């Protein structure tokens, strides 16, 4: 994409290379400790998540997808059947970004309040019941995947997806996700996914979930 800038009275053509940029974390690498270590953040965010973005940027070179400005635009333009490799990498980029954005340091943690708290109570009876049901799905998901809190037709539901997949229907809005790929917890909890899931609740950013919920209901 090219644009023209006037610098010092002269016009210059500035070539802007559109890329899908890995968002910076809203906390330091050790900000999620002790529940997720800085080593895991460096590995999971700095290596795995970055690699998904880098691969997407490599794959769109010379294609019609180069013009897309956001991952959402890209995921709307392509599909698993059209371009399987690009779609999977773009989904993984999107899922991971959503995952990292939904976390916060323990000191910033506040439980759900207001209309989100009421919606959780209405859908699951209580926050504790919701946590138990969500954790059960996360612990029992076989292999690699994701667990989601979604708003579906006005009701909160728990969903799970395998590998790269994400909830992807017009009447479903993701509000929160948990990555249960082994790379998300293996350095901190080796083979103990159950303990990882249990500790993850301490760093869920419910203010972000609330903002996603409010936006979905707007």
* Contact residues for Fe ion, defined by CB under 5 A: 179, 181, 184
- Phi–psi pair at 61, nearest 5 degrees: -60, 125
Quote the least distance from Cβ 66 to Fe ion, whole Å: 26
Closest CB to Fe ion: residue number: 179
Give 92's strand partners: none
Quote the least distance from Cβ 67 to Fe ion, whole Å: 28
Quote the least distance from Cβ 74 to Fe ion, whole Å: 19
Residue that has been written with the tokens 């880098």 in this structure: 54
Quote the least distance from Cβ 9 to Fe ion, whole Å: 50
Nearer Cβ to Fe ion, position 104 or 116?
104
Nearer Cβ to Fe ion, position 32 or 119?
32
Residue 53 CB coordination number (10 Å): 21
Nearer Cβ to Fe ion, position 51 or 66?
51
Nearer Cβ to Fe ion, position 41 or 116?
41
Residue 46 corresponds to which tokens in the numbers above? Answer: 């700095």
Residue 34: is the preceding peptide bond cis (ω within 30°)? yes
Give the CA distances from residue 126 to residues 119, 129, 132, 163, in Å, rounded to whole numbers and listed in that order.
9, 5, 10, 30
Quote the least distance from Cβ 21 to Fe ion, whole Å: 18
Concatenating the DSSP letter of every residue in 129-166 gives HHHHHHHHHHHH--SSEEEEEEEETTEEEEEEEETT--
Cite the DSSP H helix spans in 10-166: 38-41, 50-60, 71-77, 84-101, 114-124, 127-140
Quote the least distance from Cβ 68 to Fe ion, whole Å: 23
Nearer Cβ to Fe ion, position 181 or 189?
181
Nearer Cβ to Fe ion, position 98 or 130?
98
């Amino acid at each position: 994409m090219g644009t023209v800038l006037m610098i010092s009275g002269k016009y210059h053509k500035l070539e802007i290379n559109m890329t899908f940029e890995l968002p910076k974390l809203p906390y330091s690498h050790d900000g999620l400790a002790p529940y997720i270590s800085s080593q895991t953040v460096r590995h999971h965010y700095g290596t795995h998540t970055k690699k998904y973005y880098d691969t997407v940027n490599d794959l769109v070179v010379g294609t019609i997808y180069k013009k897309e400005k956001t991952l959402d635009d890209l995921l709307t333009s392509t599909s698993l059947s059209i371009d399987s490799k690009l779609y999977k990498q773009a989904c993984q980029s999107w899922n991971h970004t959503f995952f990292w954005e939904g976390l916060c340091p323990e000191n910033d943690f506040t439980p759900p309040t207001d209309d989100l708290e009421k919606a959780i109570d209405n859908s699951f009876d209580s926050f504790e019941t919701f946590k138990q049901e969500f954790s059960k799905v996360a612990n029992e998901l076989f292999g690699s995947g994701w667990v989601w809190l979604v708003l579906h037709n006005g009701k909160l539901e728990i969903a799970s997806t395998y590998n790269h997949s994400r909830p992807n229907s017009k009447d479903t809005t993701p509000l929160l996700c948990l990555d249960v790929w082994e790379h998300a917890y293996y350095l901190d909890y080796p083979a103990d996914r159950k303990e990882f899931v249990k500790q993850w609740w301490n760093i869920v950013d419910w203010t972000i979930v609330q903002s996603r919920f409010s936006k979905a209901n707007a």
